[in-house]
Structure 1
Amino acid sequence: MSERRTISRIRPNAMALRALAHPQRLRMLGLLRIEGPATATSLAGRLGLNSGATSYHLRQLARHGFIEEDEGRGNGRDRWWRARHESTTFLEDDSDEDALDAGIAFAQAALNAQIALMQRALERHIELPPEWRKASTISDFNIPLTAGQAEALVEKLHAVLWEAMETAPQLGAAREAGMETVTILLHAFPRAPEEF
């Protein structure tokens, strides 16, 4: 088992969550977290944007504490940016109506990005080597539970996933041959009675 490391997290306020809910900002932060530091020009090329718009979105992400300038790279003309945290936590305290509304708006943007990510994964599934097809899944489980039981189950699943993340190499860092970034999406919710 690898040595455990601490996963850096951010718990943004409502204003920061609203800023992050922009689809391009969400994608930029994801790329900086997964692939490591980048310039506005390289991110613009990856995302099909102009560098002016990309620079604006990067400044907004920095303003709200999601990213920072990577001072050890580049020069005066070539600014590099890096993610400040590996994870964003939200919707943990729903006592504040504004925070709840902002959390829902961010969750909607994140869900849209996750759906697109799953669609692309499914489209390339047939191209994967057999070992990666076997290691991939699209699953759902419907289990009768009380709210307390559901919360306990989600906490157990999170504990397993946090442990896996804590013992894995940091995103964007060197890794052993054959190791890929694996995305695991976890959604848990009470099913509406009218759904079939």
Structure 2
Amino acid sequence: MTDKPGNRQVRLTDPRALRAYAHPTRMALVGLLRREGPFTATRAAELTGESVASCSYHLRMLAKYGLVEEADPEGPGREKPWRATAEFTDWPGYSADPAVAQAAEALTLAVAENYFHRMTRALEARRGLSRQWQEAERFSDVTLYLTPEELVGLGQRVDALVAEYIDRATDPSLRPEGARRVPYLQIAYVDLETPDKDGPEERS
């Protein structure tokens, strides 16, 4: 699993690291550091609404598992700036180790819930967007019949298309006029609720 496509990743395989990252405040801090960082625990508190002490604790926990690091180790106390160690986080989609599998599943669920809440807020506020942006947004689904190999291949082709725009996240000079931050989700799962049957694709 991965929170974003790309190669500049930190990979989590330790169950303790997986559980640590599943905390909503820690996921928020890593995301903010990737977009806004480096910054101090004081600035983190301003951005998240958490206390400085809470942010300092969560940043130390993230550093313990290699997700963030001190940008200036010589800085004083809570005024030390922190930075993300990578642009993306990756974790196992499958593991034969029950502890890893359980922790990875919990992290995937936490990330999915985070995506859902963020998307819901965006949908509630989309009336404030221009007509052009409202029409450009995508909200659709399609049911496909694929083998595991075909699903992997489809994901790789989509990743290749998305990768054309990835560098804009870290290099503002690459962003054309009018470009805005657009979370682009890729979600594909085996439907266990509907029995397999032959028939046309379902589309909504």
Do both proteins adopt the same fold according to a TM-score greater than 0.5, normalized to the shorter chain? yes
RMSD: 2.3
Partner of 1:116: 117
Secondary structure of the residue aligned to 2:69 is strand
Residue deviations 1:3-44 (CA, integer Å, cap 9, x gap): xxx842011122211110111101111111122212111211
Q: Which AA in structure 2 matches 1:181?
A: R
CA distance in 1, matches of 2:65, 2:90: 14
Deviations 1:30-70 (A, max 9, x none): 11112221211121122111110110000000111001111
- CA shift, 1:159, in A, is 2.4
**Residue in 1 that maps onto 2:192:** 192
Instruction: Measure the CA separation in 1 of the matches of 2:83 and 2:116.
Output: 25
1:141 corresponds in structure 2 to 142
Deviations 1:79-118 (A, max 9, x none): 1111110111112442322221111111111011100110
CA–CA distance in structure 2, aligned partners of residues 7 and 153 of structure 1: 18
Task: Measure, in 2, the Cα distance between the counterparts of 1:96 and 1:159.
Answer: 31
TM superposition score normalised by structure 2: 0.82
Aligned 8 A contact 2:93 2:104 in 1? no
What SS does the aligned partner of 1:143 have?
A: coil
Quote the offset at 1:191 in angstroms: 1.0
Figure out how many residues of one structure are paired with residues of the other and give that number: 187
| Correspondence for 2:165 | 164
Letter in 1 for 2:193: P
* Letter matched to residue 163 of structure 2: W
Partners of 2:137 and 2:179 in 1: CA distance:
14
1:108/1:193 CA distance change after superposition, 3 Å: closer
Q: Show the counterpart of 2:20.
A: 19
- Give the structure, 1 or 2, with the largest relative contact order (CA under 8 Å, sep 6 or more): 1
| Structure 1 runs of 4+ with >6 Å offset | none
SS of residue matched to 1:88: strand
The answer to whether the 8 Å contact 2:17/2:65 transfers is yes
Distance in 1 (alpha carbons) for counterparts of 2:68 and 2:193: 41
- 2:164 counterpart SS class: helix
Write out aligned runs for 1:68-87 (5 A): 68-71=69-72, 75-77=75-77, 78-87=79-88
Which residue of structure 2 lines up, in the alignment, with residue 39 of structure 1? 40
Aligned amino acid, residue 188 of structure 1? A
- Which residue number in structure 2 is paired with residue 9 of structure 1? 9
Partner of 1:3: none
Q: What TM-score does the superposition give when structure 1 sets the normalisation length?
A: 0.85
Cα displacement (A) at 1:178: 2.1
Identical-residue share of aligned pairs (%) = 32
